[in-house]
Amino acid sequence: MTIKLVEEKALMGQDRRRAERRLDFGHAWDYAPAPEGTDHVRLASRYDLFIDGRFEPPGAGRYFETINPATEARLAEVADADERDVDRAVAAARRAYDQVWARMAPLERGKYIYRIARVIQERARELAVVESLDGGKPIKESRDFDVPTAAAHFFYYAGWADKLRYAFPGHAVRPLGVAGQVIPWNFPLLMAAWKIAPALACGNTVVLKPAETTPLTALLLAEIIQEADLPPGVVNIITGAGKTGAALVGHPGVDKVAFTGSTAVGKHIQRALAGTGKRMTMELGGKAANIVFADAPIDQAVEGVISGIFFNQGHVCCAGSRLLLEEGVHDTFVRKLRDRMATLRVGDPLDKNTDVGAINSKMQLEKIRELVASGEEEGAERFSAPCELPERGYFFAPTIFTGVAQSHRIAREEIFGPVLSVLTFRTDAEAVEKANNTFYGLSAGVWSNKGARLFKMASQLEAGVVWGNTYNKFDPSSPFGGYKESGFGREGGRQGLAAYLVVE
Ligand code: NAP
Ligand code: MG
């Protein structure tokens, strides 16, 4: 990485203006452009459905485009699966379940899963670039987090495949059958790994549907699954929009539904499936609070808050989108936040120095703009990072609102963008009450130099994950999931196995 102190007179255009703004904020450093190479990536112009171990065209012959949200350029054409295609995929998964996968010795199943993990590692650079191209996330995120964590999930669950009876001592366990899995666009490869790895380890077969705007890494994963020589039909990957997802979860041949996405769609699926007896796990939306006490290590907390909401454009279900500051530290903290925001690099997702990439779609950008406008109308004070946004593509400057009331929409609704709402509190009890004052309950962060306070807060916060003096840390061995309208069931860890087993 090249870092250089740029002399003002040597700067031109955008770099010069950016440097001037940085100097206003007391920063003189800038980075030279460092684009990730793309020569090693070969995208096909068209992708078919992965059913029964082969790529097959959709029955109706329909395709849709997936674009690069940073440039609005078309990347490839992807099959649009209809109900008959879903039916073929579920039938293939059922055959593979009955004839091969559920009967296979667990140790052998583990070897296949292990092989998937190894091939992901081998193709890591390609996967990272495609993830950033298709979804808009910064390459440093896809390269350093998404892809290695996806491989880590396959490694982790490969290890469990032949040890399931030790996971639930004293109980007999057996697989559920065919899992229908639907995932969102914010962590396309990682969400596929979260869903497929435990399902396979437990002896289930899978039909997975990625999101319409980010299907490409799931299709590369299909190639990897072919390369790992998995028996045909054990994993099937079908692309399409919401209708394809609805056909999959509603298919009578599906025994278990695993859904990650918005609370609205999650509720719709629960209503549609009520009474069918299908097993379900739901990983839904969030409105996490990051709670900072005056005794916290302030500079670390600023960094944690920044990364918790702005990295990955706030496209994170557990993003710390509400910041609760103890009153005495408010002014200092907000000043430091603004200073740090001025140094965030917004732009080309493929640049290795980019912190904030492209918003995933035009629709999502419009949703963010609408909610930000509501924050201004309702009387909160807006500050957006002084950055120049690229002319093409979908971008939004990191933004904070101060003077936010709990009743404001920006404090209640999931924005799913780089927008932070700042509130204050005076006592621990008030912090807990405000943090829990939401329909959601996915995650929270607490910053304090007192360990006892961290543990006490963690026990009172209604959130599936509570981070102490850090934020957004993940590991395949620790379970993740929500309370309240953030969903039910856990993914990751030993608990993640329970979602794919009958435990007797
Ligand atoms: P979404 O609109 O609910 O879509 C999620 C997935 O469901 C997509 O594949 C979507 O297809 C599909 N879908 C849409 N309508 C459907 C229906 N009626 N039946 C079955 N499937 C349907 O959510 P999103 O906007 O893509 O993702 C953002 C949301 O996901 C946020 O709320 C975020 O908090 C949540 N999320 C939660 C977690 C977690 O672990 N709790 C993790 C990541 C994201 P199309 O994309 O093609 O429409
Ligand atoms: Mg795309």
Structure tokens at 437: 């004052």
pLDDT at 19: 56
**Nearest ligand to the C-alpha atom of residue 134:** 2
Q: Whose CA is nearest to atom 15 of ligand 1?
A: 242
Quick one: CA dihedral 147, 151, 152, 154, positive or negative?
A: positive
User: Is 279 part of a structural domain of the chain?
Assistant: yes
pLDDT band at 17 (very low <50, low <70, confident <90, very high): low
Q: What's 238's domain CATH number? A: 3.40.605.10
- The answer for 324, left when phi > 0, alpha when psi is -120 to 50, beta otherwise, is beta
Contact partners, residue 292, CB within 8 Å, separation at least 6: 298, 301, 305, 323, 324, 325, 326, 329, 333, 447
Q: Is the pLDDT of residue 11 over 90?
A: no
Q: Give the number of other CB atoms < 10 A from CB of residue 45.
A: 8
- Strand runs labelled E in 119-255: 173-175, 178-182, 205-209, 235-237
Q: Which domain holds residue 98?
A: 46-284+484-503
- Rounded Cα–Cα distance for residues 334 and 329 (Å): 8
User: Is 40 part of a structural domain of the chain?
Assistant: no
Q: What's 398's domain CATH number? A: 3.40.309.10
Hey, what amino acid is at 212? E
- Tell me: do 271 and 332 sit in the same domain: no
Q: Which residues are catalytic?
A: 283, 317
Query: pLDDT > 70: what percent of the chain?
Result: 94
- Among 64, 134, 137, 186, say which to mutate for ligand 1: greatest number of ligand atoms within 8 Å of CB: 186
Report pLDDT digits (tens) over 184-226: 999 999 999 999 999 999 999 999 999 999 999 999 999 999 9
The mean per-residue pLDDT over the stretch 67-77 comes to 98
pLDDT at 6: 37
Report residue 244: phi and psi, to 5°: -65, -40
- Rounded Cα–Cα distance for residues 406 and 421 (Å): 10
- Tell me: do 247 and 155 sit in the same domain: yes
Structure tokens at 52: 């029964």
User: Is 24 part of a structural domain of the chain?
Assistant: no
pLDDT at 18: 60
- Rounded Cα–Cα distance for residues 473 and 469 (Å): 11
Q: With beta carbons less than 8 A apart as the criterion, state whether 485 and 440 touch.
A: yes
User: Is 9 part of a structural domain of the chain?
Assistant: no
26-40, 202-216, 343-357, 408-422: the lowest-pLDDT one: 26-40
- Rounded Cα–Cα distance for residues 55 and 49 (Å): 5
- Tell me: do 274 and 381 sit in the same domain: no
pLDDT at 14: 53
Q: Is the pLDDT of residue 75 over 60?
A: yes
Report pLDDT digits (tens) over 146-174: 999 999 999 999 999 999 999 999 999 99
Report pLDDT digits (tens) over 258-299: 999 999 999 999 999 999 999 999 999 999 999 999 999 999
- Tell me: do 416 and 341 sit in the same domain: yes
Structure tokens at 235: 């994993």
- Tell me: do 219 and 311 sit in the same domain: no
- Tell me: do 377 and 278 sit in the same domain: no
User: Is 266 part of a structural domain of the chain?
Assistant: yes
Q: How far is the CA of 462 from the centre of ligand 2 (A)?
A: 34
Residues with CB under 6 A from ligand 1: 182-186, 209, 211-212, 241-242, 245-246, 249, 260-262, 265, 268-269, 283-286, 317, 414, 416, 442, 482, 486-487
The 3-state secondary structure of 258-309 reads EEECCHHHHHHHHHHHCCCCCEEEEECCCCCEEEECCCCCHHHHHHHHHHHH
Average pLDDT, the chain: 95
Report pLDDT digits (tens) over 99-110: 999 999 999 999
- Tell me: do 233 and 110 sit in the same domain: yes
- Among 262, 284, 366, say which to mutate for ligand 1: greatest number of ligand atoms within 8 Å of CB: 262
Q: Is 442 helix (H, G, I), strand (E, B) or coil?
A: coil
Report pLDDT digits (tens) over 395-438: 999 999 999 999 999 999 999 999 999 999 999 999 999 999 99
- Tell me: do 307 and 433 sit in the same domain: yes
**Beta strand 419-425 with 381-384: parallel, antiparallel or unpaired?**
unpaired
Q: Is the pLDDT of residue 342 over 80?
A: yes
pLDDT at 5: 36
The mean per-residue pLDDT over the stretch 362-379 comes to 98
Report pLDDT digits (tens) over 477-504: 999 999 999 999 999 999 999 999 999 9
- Tell me: do 274 and 406 sit in the same domain: no
- Tell me: do 433 and 459 sit in the same domain: yes
pLDDT band at 21 (very low <50, low <70, confident <90, very high): low
User: Is 479 part of a structural domain of the chain?
Assistant: no
Question: How far does CA 446 lie from the centroid of its chain?
Answer: 21
- Rounded Cα–Cα distance for residues 286 and 186 (Å): 13
- Tell me: do 325 and 447 sit in the same domain: yes
User: Is 423 part of a structural domain of the chain?
Assistant: yes
Number of domains in the chain: 2
Hey, what amino acid is at 288? A
